[in-house]
Structure 1
Amino acid sequence: MKSWTAPGLDKIHAYWLKKLTALHERLAAQMNQLLTSGDHPDTTWKLLSGIIAAEISRHMDQYMSRAQKGIGNNTRGAKHQLLVDRAIAQGCRMRHTNLCTARIDYKKAYDSKPIVQVSIRCGIYQGDALSPLLFCIGLNPLSQIITKSGYGYQFRSGTTVSHLLYMDDIKLYAKNERDINSLIHLTRIYSKDIGISFGLDKCGRMISRRGKVIATDGVELPEGNITDVQDSYKYLGIPQANGNHEEAARRSATAKYLQRLRQRLIRYPAGIIPWPLEEIQATDIKTRKLLTMHGGFHPKSSVLRLYTKQKERGQRLVSVRTTVQEETTSLQEYIKKMAPTDPLLSECLRQQKPTKEEEPEGLSWKDKPMHGMYHRQIEEVSDIEKTYPWLTKARLKDSTEALIMAAQEQALSTRAIVPGTRLETPPKVLENEQAKILWDFQIQTDKMVVANQPDIVVVDKHRKTVVVIDVAIPSDSNIRKKEHEKLEKYQGLKEEMERMRGMKATVVPVVIGTLGAVTPNLSRWLQQIPGTTPEISVQKSAVLGTAKILRRTLRLPGLW
């Protein structure tokens, strides 16, 4: 079970059940009692069925066919089958050999296995962890029958492959039409014996001689005909016709990606089909245009920063280029790792072309003359680690985050003064039995003090303390200077208030840069203010205020 998924009725996350090892013996005893106790919560059953499935899978590993990649550990599943299928297609084209394939699909595979002959007292739920495992066990003898038939496609190395299985998706391979028809009939007979039937509308056969697809009448079965595929079909989500239909697959994946901007739509076909650099770059450009249209990226912002990780002060978007490179590299490493024990993957390794070395990364966005100027200016005067938490903790809208980053990167014309702006005026005095708060209030003193009107004064009547707070939001490069200036400015007022009122006074400068930079001492100053004042909330207020001013002053569109 995943550690932090929603807990059951006990409200205890699985993380704690895993860590509290002293409870494991007792939990195991209670699990055994659940088998005969009748009704119990769904979450308990999921845990129990998962344990049973893991034990069955561990036992069946020695008996399951290696052609089945729908279950099991240390396998890439569908990607494994697609790699082998690509190797077969490429070998056929390079050697100009005959290849016959057939794709078999079942009608409602999981729901159609017969149970009339068996008296079921306890069943399993739909979508249960045991369901796919038991189905694969039911199909396992079919794999053994097909293997023993002796039919199949033979690689140059002598390795023969007759079929690939991914759950209920079956693909058959043979060297001629007679052999592929025999494999189809073998599959039909076994499937009928276990009570499942072909979905003929989704089945297909392809005959190619010396690398060229030829048209035939298909294969006739008692239930109907399996027609020959002339144009293309999909195998495990990848369009194919005498091998991978590469351009169609890329076009389909790109279109779906641009509709939803989900990296997994690119990641799945990546590594299976080649992806030209020009198409990758064009897709990344379209992605940035979509982000700009929806307020997530300013057109003049740094592209490098957009694709930089959040811990490195970036916007954490993963580019299509990075996705394709990472998945391709991952599959190549998988092939090298598994090839010594897998004859089919060793053939994939033999066909694998040497990859070009990736170009070393250029300058970081921080090194750019304009985009990196802000970061270089505040590096010496601010606490960098505390300057950027608003990226992760403030929960800003994408448009606000993009706007502040654009301002940091000097991408906006920010020098502007708008006359006639109204100022917010809270009440001057708030008081009760415990405290008094003064807002922008002129303090009367016996001795003349030049700076006697701080932003906020908090008087704690019980503790006999006075906190003089002055807030400033200067340019980010001036935060250290402004903090020191505030401390010196109100020293005279502090001394007079201590003398006149007999209370301990403290000057607290709250200085936040307009774009979120903070000084190393900010946390210490905020701790001296009565009440809870999280640093991130102060930083968020400053950043949101800057965004509001930028939108109003620059008359930015609604999305910004």
Structure 2
Amino acid sequence: MDDLKIYAATKNQLENLLRTVHKISADVGIIFGTSKCQTVSIIRGKLCETPELNLDEKTIISSMSTEPYKYLVMLQTYKIEHGIIKNRLSTAFRLRLTSLLKTGLNSKNLFKAINTCALPVLTYSFGIVKWTDTDLESLNRLVRTILTKFRNHHPRSATERVTLPRNLGGRGLLDVVNVCREQIKSLREYFYTKNSNLYVTVSSADVKYTPLNLSSKQYDAFPTLSITNKITTWGAKELHGRYPSELDQHHIEKAASLHWLTSDYLYPETEGFIVAMQDQVIPTRNYRKLILKENISDKCRRCDSGSENIEHILSGCSNLASTKYLERHNRVASIIYLEILKHFNIDREIQEPYYKYHPPPVVENNSFKIYWDKTILTNKTVRRNRPDITLINKIKKTVLLIDISIPNNNNIQSKFTEKVTKYQDLRIEIKNIWQMESVQVVPLIVSAIGIIPST
């Protein structure tokens, strides 16, 4: 037995109870730890110091002063010291959070570690310590502040997104407010399902003495902010809401578009920067002029023609088209090309990373042949005759003309149609000249901020 607390109406009753416990402990060979014992005397609601209790010549129990003691980890005197406990738990939570951010974990595992290692410091106290909504929101804000300090979160990114599940576009952190309210609700339900007289008595006596407030039967006093409400709030914002609105379009494959969040290969800083771009809070000239109200021109610093916003920088600047956009396109194509080689067991000994790899014009084995960015010669003049990747199945006599595009979000559907139309003449010529069973145009479209169409 450990952490035993004895209550009595008078000092004499307390002394008799202690003697009984001491005698039973001695009979069964349990050490009575008097060094950790103290008596507390409360007279008319005030803590009073009383003389020591002498159980025998060797067992003396002192009286406690105003210094709080720990009982089941909670600091208390004649009451739970809510203020002191909250300060200590907040400090411990901050230290654990900071330590985790120094570990170098990938983003998904980092947020999982925060949920399972740092947050339990607080959750143990929920339902016992009186945390106000202001206290809990401050803890949520503390998490975002420390994430920002370590460059894992942009200070102007959507706050709702931090605590949304990853498969819905969030970062998977538990909401401290919701965790507290759910635990309070769970504890209330536990007490109400017990028929013991002790539980009934405790419930009727708890008139706002604890956060559970068991004497009140109103469960709706502890509402939680649902995921649906958070998504609605996120989507209703002018800038932040553009990304979730685009994800919900009927032609978008949401699961594929959010795969980068549900996988576990990104650094937290990289993930935070991508989220900031999707939330449109990167300080472009357009953002600084219209949102931050700075007195500057919003013209692009590279091309000096369009307004410098996220869409323009990622896929609309003419000065970047032949350099950065082409490099991005080729890297995406290289990743797809390497995955095709791996899938069809062609040239599996490649050790170079995709960003250093330069595919050869032609590779093949007994079953497949692959052209990389190669002009296809035909009898008839065909203007569009150079797809990014041409995959030929020698056995089934089929051809896939794969072409990659990384457009603006608004151009996803039009780009798909454009790619299919673009290679129709080439498709017909290849089928006739090479005598193939089928030739299919496969546009691979990924928007500049990672949205993938269902087509």
AA in 1 matched with 2:450: G
3-state SS of 1:170 partner:
coil
3-state SS of 2:7 partner:
strand
Give 1:299 shift: 1.3
Residue aligning to 1:139 = none
**Aligned 8 A contact 2:178 2:224 in 1:** no
Residue aligning to 1:384 = 254
The equivalent position to 2:422 in structure 1, one of 489, 493, 497, is 489
For residues 478 and 381 of structure 1, do their structure 2 counterparts lie closer, same or farther at Cα, with a shift above 3 Å needed?
Answer: farther
Give 1:305 shift: 1.8
Query: Over residues 285-330 of structure 1, what are the superposed CA-to-partner deviations in whole Å (9 max), with x where a residue is unaligned?
Result: 1111111223332211101122223343322222222222222222
The answer to whether structure 1 residue 305 and structure 2 residue 161 are counterparts is yes
AA in 2 matched with 1:250: K
Residue aligning to 1:169 = 3
Give 1:225 shift: 2.2
**Aligned 8 A contact 1:208 1:242 in 2:** yes
Query: Over residues 78-123 of structure 1, what are the superposed CA-to-partner deviations in whole Å (9 max), with x where a residue is unaligned?
Result: xxxxxxxxxxxxxxxxxxxxxxxxxxxxxxxxxxxxxxxxxxxxxx
For 1:58-73, what aligned pairs fall within 5 Å after superposition?
A: none
**In 2, distance between residues paired with 1:454 and 1:435?**
17
For residues 284 and 359 of structure 1, do their structure 2 counterparts lie closer, same or farther at Cα, with a shift above 3 Å needed?
Answer: closer
Give 1:512 shift: 1.8
Residue aligning to 2:433 = 500
**Aligned 8 A contact 2:161 2:171 in 1:** yes
Query: Over residues 365-413 of structure 1, what are the superposed CA-to-partner deviations in whole Å (9 max), with x where a residue is unaligned?
Result: 1122211112223414313344323322354333333322222221224
**Aligned 8 A contact 1:442 1:452 in 2:** yes
**In 1, distance between residues paired with 2:367 and 2:258?**
36
For residues 229 and 358 of structure 1, do their structure 2 counterparts lie closer, same or farther at Cα, with a shift above 3 Å needed?
Answer: same
Query: Over residues 198-256 of structure 1, what are the superposed CA-to-partner deviations in whole Å (9 max), with x where a residue is unaligned?
Result: 22222222122222222233223444422222111011111001111111111122111
Residue aligning to 1:369 = 238
**Aligned 8 A contact 1:335 1:346 in 2:** no
The equivalent position to 2:38 in structure 1, one of 175, 189, 204, is 204
3-state SS of 2:429 partner:
helix
**Aligned 8 A contact 1:473 1:511 in 2:** yes
The equivalent position to 1:219 in structure 2, one of 11, 29, 53, is 53
**In 2, distance between residues paired with 1:420 and 1:512?**
19
The answer to whether structure 1 residue 450 and structure 2 residue 388 are counterparts is no
Larger mean CA deviation between 268-277 and 329-338 belongs to: 329-338
Give 1:432 shift: 3.9
Residue aligning to 1:471 = 404
**In 2, distance between residues paired with 1:347 and 1:501?**
85
Give 1:474 shift: 1.6
**In 2, distance between residues paired with 1:209 and 1:337?**
35
**Aligned 8 A contact 1:381 1:477 in 2:** no
The answer to whether structure 1 residue 349 and structure 2 residue 204 are counterparts is yes
For residues 333 and 373 of structure 1, do their structure 2 counterparts lie closer, same or farther at Cα, with a shift above 3 Å needed?
Answer: same
AA in 1 matched with 2:21: T
**Aligned 8 A contact 1:457 1:469 in 2:** yes
**In 2, distance between residues paired with 1:381 and 1:411?**
26
**Aligned 8 A contact 1:475 1:514 in 2:** yes
**In 2, distance between residues paired with 1:475 and 1:317?**
30
3-state SS of 1:438 partner:
strand
Name the count of aligned residue pairs.
354
**Aligned 8 A contact 1:383 1:518 in 2:** yes
Residue aligning to 1:281 = 137
The equivalent position to 2:453 in structure 1, one of 499, 511, 519, is 519
Residue aligning to 2:273 = 403
For residues 364 and 335 of structure 1, do their structure 2 counterparts lie closer, same or farther at Cα, with a shift above 3 Å needed?
Answer: same
The equivalent position to 2:69 in structure 1, one of 233, 237, 256, is 233
Larger mean CA deviation between 395-404 and 202-211 belongs to: 395-404
The TM-score with structure 1 as length reference comes to 0.59
Residue aligning to 1:440 = 373
**In 2, distance between residues paired with 1:359 and 1:256?**
25
Give 1:486 shift: 0.9
For 1:123-162, what aligned pairs fall within 5 Å after superposition?
A: none
The answer to whether structure 1 residue 180 and structure 2 residue 36 are counterparts is no
Task: State the identity as a percent.
Answer: 29
**In 2, distance between residues paired with 1:457 and 1:341?**
75
3-state SS of 2:441 partner:
strand
**In 2, distance between residues paired with 1:490 and 1:259?**
59
For 1:19-98, what aligned pairs fall within 5 Å after superposition?
A: none
Gaps of 5+ in 2: 98-117, 209-215, 285-309, 314-318, 331-357
**Aligned 8 A contact 1:381 1:478 in 2:** no
Query: Over residues 502-521 of structure 1, what are the superposed CA-to-partner deviations in whole Å (9 max), with x where a residue is unaligned?
Result: 12322111112223322223
**Aligned 8 A contact 1:213 1:242 in 2:** yes
AA in 2 matched with 1:309: P
AA in 2 matched with 1:468: L
For residues 201 and 512 of structure 1, do their structure 2 counterparts lie closer, same or farther at Cα, with a shift above 3 Å needed?
Answer: same
Give 1:465 shift: 2.4
For residues 478 and 346 of structure 1, do their structure 2 counterparts lie closer, same or farther at Cα, with a shift above 3 Å needed?
Answer: farther
Residue aligning to 2:291 = none
**Aligned 8 A contact 2:167 2:262 in 1:** no
**In 2, distance between residues paired with 1:357 and 1:326?**
8
Residue aligning to 1:540 = none
3-state SS of 1:471 partner:
strand
**In 2, distance between residues paired with 1:312 and 1:342?**
46
Residue aligning to 1:293 = 149
For residues 385 and 349 of structure 1, do their structure 2 counterparts lie closer, same or farther at Cα, with a shift above 3 Å needed?
Answer: farther
**In 1, distance between residues paired with 2:402 and 2:131?**
59
Gaps of 5+ in 1: 1-166, 522-560
